[in-house]
Amino acid sequence: MSKQTRVPGSAGSPRRLSRRTFLGVTAGTTVALSLGTFIRSGLGAPRVNVLTWSNTLNVMDDVLREQAREYTKAKGVEVQFEFINQTDLPAKTAAAVESGAGPDVITLWSDGPHLHANALADIGDVAERLGKELKGWTNIAQDIAIVGKSWKAVPWGIIPICITYRSDWLKEVGYPRFPDTFDEMLVMAKKLKDKGHPVGFALGRAIGDGNQSHYPMLWAFGGAEVRKDGKTVAINSPETARAVDYRRKLYQDGETADVLSWDDSSNNRAFLAEAVSVTGNAASIYWAEKKNAPQLRDVTEHALWPTGPAGRFGYSTAISLGVFKFSKVQKEAKEFIGWLLQPKQYSAWMGIGEGMMAGLLNFYEDDPVWKKDPKLEVVRQIPKYVRMPGYPGPPSRPAAEAMVKYVVVNLFARACTGTATAEAIRVAENELKEIYGKA
Amino acid sequence: MATGLVAWPAAGRRRRRLTHEALTGYGLVSPSLFLLLVLLAYPFALAVWISLTDRVLGEPGRFVGLGNFGKLVGDPLFRQTVWNSFVYTLSTVCLKLALGLVLALLLNQEFPFRNGVRAILLLPWIVPTSLSVLTWLWMFDSLFSVINWVLLGLGVISRKIPWLGDPVWAMASVCIVNVWRGLPFFAVSLLAGLMAIPRHLYESADVDGAPALRQFWHITLPLLQPVIAVVVLFSTIWTFADFQIVYILTHGGPVNATQIFATMAYDVALVAGRIGEGSAIALFLFPFLLIVILLLLRRLRAEEGT
């Protein structure tokens, strides 16, 4: 091999770079860059790194980027958002918690504040100040973020899950509005399927839509995985059996068989492809229609989850912002979170999402976004019906584990694939005893 | 290297030089050794230690001995995971071996553009798995499956196959993708083995009037056996540790029908935060895999000896 590295130069006069020069230049540049970064980190403006999910609606992330720039300009604190795929968030959070290094602010999913309570700094001062200024927090917000007696995160909002349905097809089978009870929905689903428009609620490994569709169904029939103490497994009950029987009937009479393989995006695609008439989802379908299926905007409507013998329930994924104890800029991070939830910023972010997010501060129930489009009125009401997995017990690590192991979704899925109700419940009971027994 | 050092112990000058040489050798090896220790040995030892504790994310945890492993044995979901992992690994390794052998034999024949075809064959193995599996995800999609569309069009099936929605079909689907991705490794390794078999053995067999099948049975298979052993052992280890295919296609569903060690360990350790138990799931098969690795190393050493 030649002793010298040839570097492409101008035509006809090749320049040669000696090995020594190459090493010198490389080492010099590295030292200069490191020194620059070092000086910048030590002497420059404090910097807050925020790790969050990449929203299905990119425009919402654009608003956050813009707000971060605004904040830096106004307060002299640099804020850097890093957006990653929702499914990568648990692994990144785990790595930060374990290594004691990483972002300063972390986005936590539903039970996250409880799962990572030990790694999170108390943020009660900010949360309580926001509560005082903005008409208080909803009950669910407190369940999510208060661990023991301290606020471990500031609830950022929920991704409201409601029924999305085709009003034209419902009218065809005699329903001018979406039925209010699960029993009526079953009758309607059968009529719809007979017309070639089945309903569909994700029963596969859809961490969002699968769980969000099936916890409310279990609760509405009076079933629960655990008692109020959050310890005693209570899934084996006549109420659960009724919910399971109902779910099987819905699958057989009114649903597309595809639901068993559905992930979180399948129902969106099926609805946009006009393959299903009803599904449980965030307002993202309605949003996506703007671009992908404008002809469906007029015939797409939202409804609350139906009621059952025990009432009306919902489960919508909640997201919260927490500050890690290891962060060296805790004060700045907390101040930024407080600023982000102020009406000027929050309304702009929530507003552009048009129903994709709903705030958990009572003030935001009257946000202008809900008046923008009458079809979003339903979405506005969702926070008051929302419960977290583990209900009626408090959110907890076992409740989160039961959810990621799809215990409730699988309970219904087993019944739909032919397992007898008692057997499906027995399997779920064993799984839950295993999970809650470890607590 | 080492034999060189031992072979010249008597000559004094020589020894000094060799000692110096040996020091240089150790010096040169030490960065790699250091990297191995830091990047492999330390995380592994840590994982073993964590699996013996009841550690959850962010908390130190207590030593519980083999408690995690004991609990796993009693966990119905874990027992299903063990069963799934064996079904997944054994069925795909057998299929890859059988199909890989057929493919290698075909590619060993003379035909036009042989080298081009051999290169194309490697594609499934070269393309990043996550990307190719995403394509498969679309091909298995409940609504838009191109496979179903073709089969329906040809009249082979009368209703859509629920590729990822039915427990049995879902397992079949992940196996199909695993075979598709792993086949090139088998075919190319076996092809290399085939090409190394001396031609004159076949020529003598021809002279003796042995038919092709007997030639295959008595010449090809015995001489290919060392390659087959190595390839099968490697593939078994990789398949037991597989994550991407199942995670992307089914995430272990439906109803846990395709839950395997790696996906369950991910859910328990990283999503539910129970990292002691998650590590135990990931390490559960370690003793078994260790035996497989020892066999593999013995086989490789035996081959070096021949």
- The residues in A 197-236 lying below 8 A from B, measured between CB atoms, are 203-205
Same domain, B135 and B226: yes
Same domain, B22 and B83: no
Q: What is the CA radius of gyration of chain A?
A: 25
Report how far apart the first and last C-alpha atoms of chain A are (Å, whole number).
Answer: 64
User: Which range is least confidently modeled, A33-37, A261-265, B51-55, B187-191?
Assistant: A33-37
Say what percent of chain A tops pLDDT 70: 93
What dihedral angle (degrees, nearest 10) is formed by the CA atoms of A405, A409, A413, A415? 110
B19 in a domain, yes or no? yes
B7 in a domain, yes or no? no
- Cβ atoms of residues B191 and B165 within 8 Å: no
B58 in a domain, yes or no? no
B145 in a domain, yes or no? yes
CB pairs under 8 A between A and B: 116
- The residues in B 175-234 lying below 8 A from A, measured between CB atoms, are none
- Cβ atoms of residues A189 and A250 within 8 Å: yes
Question: Which run of H or of E encompasses A52?
Answer: strand A47-53
Same domain, B201 and B297: yes
Interchain CB contact of B61 with A (< 8 Å) = no
From the CB of residue B89, how many other CB atoms can be counted at a distance below 10 Å?
23
Question: Which of B270, B275, B281 to mutate: most A Cβ within 10 Å?
Answer: B270
Nearest to A155 by CA among A111, A90, A216, A96: A111
What residue type is assigned to position A155 of the chain? P
- Check pLDDT > 60 for residue B16: no
B265 in a domain, yes or no? yes
Q: What local confidence, expressed as pLDDT, does residue B137 receive?
A: 93
Q: Which residues contact B238 (CB under 8 A, 6 or more apart)?
A: B182
Same domain, B199 and B140: yes
Same domain, B128 and B243: yes
Residue with the larger pLDDT of the pair A212 and A37: A212
Same domain, B299 and B190: yes
With contacts defined as CB-CB under 8 Å, which chain B residues touch A204? 164-165, 250-251, 253-254
Residues B210-240 pLDDT 10s: 888 899 999 999 999 889 988 998 899 899 9
d(CA A346, CA B250): 36
B4 in a domain, yes or no? no
Same domain, B29 and B92: no
Interchain CB contact of A96 with B (< 8 Å) = no
Residues B95-151 pLDDT 10s: 999 999 999 999 988 888 888 888 888 888 888 988 999 999 999 988 888 999 999
Rounded to the nearest 5°, which phi and psi values hold at A280? -105, 120
B49 in a domain, yes or no? no
CATH number at residue B193: 1.10.3720.10
Question: Which of A207, A260, A423 to mutate: most B Cβ within 10 Å?
Answer: A260
d(CA A423, CA A435): 19
With CB atoms and an 8 Å threshold, state whether B254 touches A205.
yes
Interchain CB contact of A115 with B (< 8 Å) = yes
With CB atoms and an 8 Å threshold, state whether B142 touches A119.
no
Interchain CB contact of B166 with A (< 8 Å) = yes
Residues A344-367 pLDDT 10s: 999 999 999 988 999 999 999 999
Same domain, B115 and B25: no
- Counted domains in chain B: 2
With CB atoms and an 8 Å threshold, state whether B143 touches A270.
yes
- Cβ atoms of residues A260 and A138 within 8 Å: no
What domain range includes position B27? 12-41
* pLDDT mean over A319-330: 96
With contacts defined as CB-CB under 8 Å, which chain B residues touch A261? 140, 142, 162-166, 170, 250, 253-254
Q: What DSSP line would sit under A342-387, residue for residue? A: SHHHHHHHHHHHTTS-B-SBGGGGG-THHHH-GGGHHHHHGGGGB-
Same domain, B123 and B16: no
Interchain CB contact of B63 with A (< 8 Å) = no
Same domain, B33 and B88: no
On the CB side of A208, how many CA atoms lie within 13 Å of its CA?
Answer: 23
On the CB side of A428, how many CA atoms lie within 13 Å of its CA?
Answer: 33
With contacts defined as CB-CB under 8 Å, which chain B residues touch A404? 267, 271-272
Largest distance between two CA atoms of chain A:
88
From the CB of residue A85, how many other CB atoms can be counted at a distance below 10 Å?
9
**Chain B residue at shortest CA distance from A414:** B255
d(CA A347, CA A63): 11
For each of the domains in chain A, give its residue range(s) and CATH number, in order of start. Answer: 44-159+317-383 (3.40.190.10), 162-316+386-437 (3.40.190.10)
B210 in a domain, yes or no? yes
Q: Which residues contact A156 (CB under 8 A, 6 or more apart)?
A: A107, A318, A319, A320, A321, A341, A357
- Cβ atoms of residues A165 and A278 within 8 Å: yes
Same domain, B133 and B29: no
- Check pLDDT > 80 for residue B192: yes
Same domain, B19 and B137: no
